[in-house]
Structure 1
Amino acid sequence: MTAIRILLVDDHAIVREGYRALLAKQTDLAVVAEAGDAEQAYRQFKQHRPDLVLTDISLPGGSGLELIRRIKQHSGNAAILVFSMHQNPEFALRALRAGALGYVTKSSEPGVLLHALREVFAGRHALSADMAQILALEKLGKQQLALETLTPREFEILRLLVAGKSHADIAGMLNISVKTAGNSHYLIKSKLGVNSDIELTKLAIQLHVLELLA
């Protein structure tokens, strides 16, 4: 089996040494190049064409985010995993939007990093459990705020939609037209940032809207 060829990017030599020792124990992983700053990393990427880039997000000579963008511009299918001390969800979101497939915090167990490397190489997203939880809570918080933008009438319609009522049912119960019920349905989904009734129901469950139906 051919090993996954990795470019290792971190500005601390002793940290890179630790990563290299960990990866050297894996028969399917191999570090083929290293870099201590963003500019060197980009040159090494072009020279060695690694299968995967493992990079920190805080780098001298340009940020890791800029490095990710440059690499993705050069090679759109490049597999990139961020390994960082930062647990701020904004860092992870920006890294993923820039083109990284995964984000693992440095407080994670070694096995988490190894699993993430293989997942990203396979083209799948990978997040360490702590970051996945933070991002989920961040998303839920924003959705909770979105829920608060609904008018009392819209919230009542949401409750009825989640309970399985049709537009005609809702129109009769609230003494509005079927068209108004349908328009409100569309507006509710728009305000909550969902595209389908399945997503709307899932969000309602997350936000405990169903518990308010009794």
Structure 2
Amino acid sequence: MNPSLAGLSVLLADDHAMVRMGFRLLLEGAGATVLGEAESGEQALRLYDELRPDVLTMDVSMPGIGGLAALERLRAHHPAARVLMLSAHHDAVIPVRALKAGAAGYLCKRCLPQELIQAVRLVGQDRRYLDPELAQQVALTQLSGAAHPAQALTDKEFTVFLQLAQGRSVNEVASDFHLSASTVGTHLYHIKQKLNASNAAELAVIAMRAGLIEA
């Protein structure tokens, strides 16, 4: 057995059971102990409080509040939490947001198995890890400040944008994020102004073209 993750405890958060099973087999094969599995951001937060893993691996796109909002909430309550965010997409917008929100690492789920092991190992050592294929794209985005129009959104607006683009209603978003419907409506107004969109369908198209959500 490859002992590179020996002594490391991990919590897996992904809404696809097959993905979680694959990650569990891979990480346990490298010596890690998988303490639990979550299928939503809300469940990941509850299990983190209960289990206190060394590393949380969390998918960006999950039902409910999703991975990015869960990351923000987790870091607010546990500033030392070590989180490796994962995504099925190769865009630069979400990695920049995730790293800004306190993620220790970011990896595309299309990576080689050994890359996941390496990323978990480094994050477990309190070091940073960024998918090599994304590193240059992220660096250029941060330097130029001009990538996707969604870069112009504030952190809260970006979170609301992702939720609405996935078809959730203003009231659902308000309930999930403990906001008033009027506050979410104000965010929506600013989002549509900044992205030059007139309705939720156009927001979904913008998000899909940027690879922020799956078609």
TM-score under structure 2 length normalisation:
0.63
Q: Structure 1 stretch 48-57 or stretch 2-11: which is displaced more?
A: 2-11
Q: 2:44 aligns with which of 36, 41, 44?
A: 41
Aligned to 1:8: 12
Q: Structure 1 stretch 112-121 or stretch 134-143: which is displaced more?
A: 134-143
Q: Which has the higher contact order (CA 8 A, sep 6+)?
A: 2
1:121-160 to 2 correspondences below 5 Å: 121-142=124-145
**Distance in structure 1 (CA, Å) of the matches to 2:25 and 2:15:** 17
Say whether residues 1:101 and 2:116 are aligned partners. no
**Distance in structure 2 (CA, Å) of the matches to 1:140 and 1:71:** 28
- How far does residue 134 in structure 1 lie from its aligned partner after superposition? 1.5
Runs of 4+ in 1 over 3 A off after TM superposition: 139-143
- How far does residue 142 in structure 1 lie from its aligned partner after superposition? 4.3
Matched letter for residue 93 of structure 1: V
Q: Percent identity?
A: 39
Matched letter for residue 31 of structure 1: V
Q: 2:29 aligns with which of 25, 29, 49?
A: 25
Report how many aligned residue pairs link the two structures. Answer: 142
Aligned to 2:71: 68
| Change over 3 Å in CA distance of 1:42–1:142 after alignment to 2 | closer
Based on CA coordinates, which of the two structures has the bigger radius of gyration?
1
Cα deviation digits, residues 25-72 of structure 1 (max 9, x gap):
112x11101000111111101111111100000010112111111111
**Distance in structure 1 (CA, Å) of the matches to 2:33 and 2:14:** 16
Cα deviation digits, residues 164-199 of structure 1 (max 9, x gap):
xxxxxxxxxxxxxxxxxxxxxxxxxxxxxxxxxxxx
**Distance in structure 2 (CA, Å) of the matches to 1:2 and 1:73:** 29
2:50 is paired with a residue whose SS is helix
Cα deviation digits, residues 140-185 of structure 1 (max 9, x gap):
5449xxxxxxxxxxxxxxxxxxxxxxxxxxxxxxxxxxxxxxxxxx
2:90 is paired with a residue whose SS is coil
1:162-201 to 2 correspondences below 5 Å: none
2:56 is paired with a residue whose SS is strand
- How far does residue 3 in structure 1 lie from its aligned partner after superposition? 1.5
RMSD: 1.6
Structure 1 unaligned segments of length 5 or more: list them: 144-214
Contact 2:6 2:30 survives alignment (8 Å): no
**Distance in structure 1 (CA, Å) of the matches to 2:122 and 2:82:** 10
TM-score under structure 1 length normalisation:
0.63
